[in-house]
Amino acid sequence: AKDYDLRQYETAKWVSTVIRGETQKEAMRQGFWKLFHYIQGKNEKEMKIDMTVPVTCLVKSGCTDFKISFFVPFEHQDCPPQPTDTDVFIEERKAAALFVRSFGGFASPEKYAEEADALARTLRNRGQPFHEDFFYTAGYDSPFKLFNRHNEVWYFKK
């Protein structure tokens, strides 16, 4: 469709952390640094791992827990080093079909929510069944990139 994509993602491992009871913006900041320390060597193998994109954040309706995740690079998918921080964990996300809406600029929690609402409205209007109680935000750019930024919101297809 012109205002969203339907993508099929394969099963993959992500390194994640859950930040509880903070604003989404603060949770993203805290979660990013916990995961960044993991890829900088705070893991069992003391191995540096390349930064990947996207950085995702799981947003659940009416919930102040946010799961922040980095995609585990392809070369480490089979055997990612285990985190040494007890708040950081490796998770395997099952293959899934996702509805994706892309947008530019610097994304705030408010902008992500606005884009997720727009995607949800479009999906409902088109009779597309999806899991409405949560969505993921996906950021693809360093905070230092000023132009041509790429952000997404994801809903899982039912």
pLDDT tens across the length of the chain (158 residues): 789 999 999 999 999 999 999 999 999 999 999 999 999 999 999 999 999 999 999 999 999 999 999 999 999 999 999 999 999 999 999 999 999 999 999 999 999 999 999 999 999 999 999 999 999 999 999 888 999 999 999 999 99
In the chain, where the domains are located: 5-156
Taking alpha carbons only, the member of 66, 77, 76 closest to residue 34 is 66
Three-state secondary structure call for residue 121: helix
98 burial (CB, 10 Å; 0-12 / 13-18 / 19+) is buried
- pTM of this structure: 0.96
Q: Taking every pair of C-alpha atoms in the chain, what is the biggest distance, in angstroms?
A: 49
Taking alpha carbons only, the member of 133, 122, 125 closest to residue 158 is 133
pLDDT for 144 equals 86
Angle ∠(33,39,43) on CA atoms, nearest 5: 105
Tell me if the domain spanning 5-156 has CATH number 3.40.50.2300.
no
Are the C-beta atoms of residues 69 and 14 closer than 8 Å to each other?
yes
pLDDT for 1 equals 76
